[in-house]
Chain A
């Protein structure tokens, strides 16, 4: 991993801060968020690891994780965070960075009939949001 000032304090980092309203530099990586997160069993990165990648300026890598989509915004992490970082806001801002360019599309017509029949409606709505 190569670090430069453009990566660490560059445009991407600033943009994310603007969207989320969160200063991830406050995080001192204690891990309390991950310790209490109900979804960690499904996650590829623990919540505090996502924050760490953002601190390092590696936003794309953070945004590529499953974790940001598994976050249910239950706020257990932010309620406990000793540094006042709202992780759900950061997760949302990472999702937004993927959604804003509008490059990903879910074509409901292209889904197999089996999926369309069995998938819960909420999953389809969420899928449309994620890939729209």
Chain B
């Protein structure tokens, strides 16, 4: 074996702690090492050239790079090795930065000893590395997008416009998401529907977008470039192919259901279309409220429907779609009412949340856009807005900032003032976070020009006293406790992941954080990629964000999908598990151990097999195998033992 060892200083990151010249001196005497060299920045162009030169001069067959985490530069150094004729899978990284110089900054002597041992272990590993070639897999150039809010719609349109087919799945009967519920949008105060409907109608009529509303993803199998998705289209009890959306059924329906779209502020017919601009503009029967289903009596809609579209016997339908990439755009919900007891949320009808305020202010909402409080329809003259309800509250809610509430509360207060000019809006806040183009100016306008009074402090409690809601708060700027007799209280409740997000993550075999927001592969450099290859994230599914950020991220996710689709074939790491069929007893322990569905049993031959392209090379199956039949390529048992010997021996 002729191994070259290249030790990087990484400026002072490694060189300031580890005695690099001593490491090079020690390692150059290690068995199998043809030459050991150091360089200040190994990842730089001259550093890479140095590696290539030494490979050629010493006729190396393997290299060890002692530098930063393989997550940073493994790909760089593998390609350098390959360009000089060394198999890239015979290039190992010894991480002497994240795993050595950084954590041991105060013990330079021990850090130097550890760096030597880590490099020796890597030399032992590379000694057993096989020369492998990357696997090649085909790509289905079709995308699945889960969620048809503004994020999902934007990603769908961008991918479809680029010429690829898109399957857009939405669990509600209509598309548009929460943006369809908003009255106006900050910081320009343009009408939400006015800027949204061009997109919803474009999605509705796009020849390359297959829209499946009232549908949910049930299961997913396969891998990047080759997913198979099972989708359940829930029964609407209306044949949408026949239905013209005339609305006669809705007019005549005698049963009432609480309107989800209107946030429970009004009842709607049991067969209804959520809002006038809904796409698709077709009704759905709520089986929980419909007289036909609950009492077995009514059949009014069936009688009045001029085209015979009502179908009480309709069943859920299952579809299977083949796609190459998936974008998760499942959006958000608001912090549940039951959890904000001190503000009487869910108890007093005039304590509402931000989305309810949007509906009150919306021209198509329950009050036709007049600000009237839910309890008695009175125009509220004193309105208290409370920010950070559940947000930035690790004891009773969530430690994170929900990001959009400062802006939408300023918007609400301003819109309220536009409609109730003699009313007084008060905003309780902790900090005003208005980072964004035109955002700070928007908030300042609220205080300066529109008479919104900002009070810095949290509200302790809200209680009903006769006609009024008494708000106990504080203004920490003046150091005074504040009491306001309000007519209505609007809570900026925390943004939480859409219900079912964690379950969906399990189906997709990707990760969420502890709250259920989908995890990105890297918080700065790979913000739209999930931890699973071929699955991307957009919008509030990842973290709270506003419409401009959501649209930006959706476009970025679409660009990632298009980059994937532009490849002829995809490559996959060949460092995967392999089975020695002579030793395999077909017990199936490896199948249980695999987190990626890469292991299956060949029942006919009674041996376990590996689906190479699904295998992520984690090694769980190799460890679980009771008779040593499963081998992890380039991480074999003998390699691991000699690595341990190199460290402890």
Contacts and interface: CB of A to CB of B under 8 A. Distances in A.
B382 interface: yes
Interface string B429-449: 000000000000000100110
| Chain B at the A interface: SS class | strand
B167 to A, nearest CB: 49
Q: How extensive is the interface on chain A, given as a class?
A: 10 to 19
A112 to B, nearest CB: 38
B451 A4 contact: no
Nearest to B456: A29
Contact of A55 (B424, B453, B485): B453
A52 B456 CA distance: 11
Interface in A1-45: 1-5, 8-9, 23, 25-26, 28-29
A2 B382 CA distance: 13
Q: Which of A5, A9, A56 has the most CB of B within 10 A?
A: A5
A31 B576 CA distance: 62
A1 B483 contact: yes
Contacts of B475: 1, 52, 56
Contacts of B483: 1-3
B480 interface: yes
Contacts of A5: 381-382, 422-424
Interface in A43-64: 49, 52-53, 55-56, 58
B484 interface: yes
A102 to B, nearest CB: 30
A56 to B, nearest CB: 6
Interface string A87-127: 00000000000000000000000000000000000000000
Contacts of B77: none
B482 A25 contact: no
A28 B451 contact: no
A3 B477 CA distance: 15
Contact of B482 (A3, A26, A53): A3
Given A9-B424, A29-B477, A53-B478, A3 B451 contact: no
B261 interface: no
B448 A26 contact: yes
Q: Which of A4, A49, A53 has the most CB of B within 10 A?
A: A4
Contacts of B423: 5
Interface of A: 1-5, 8-9, 23, 25-26, 28-29, 49, 52-53, 55-56, 58
6 contacts: A1-B478, A2-B483, A2-B484, A8-B424, A8-B451, A56-B475
Q: Which 5 A-B pairs have the closest CB atoms?
A: A5-B424, A1-B480, A52-B478, A26-B448, A2-B483
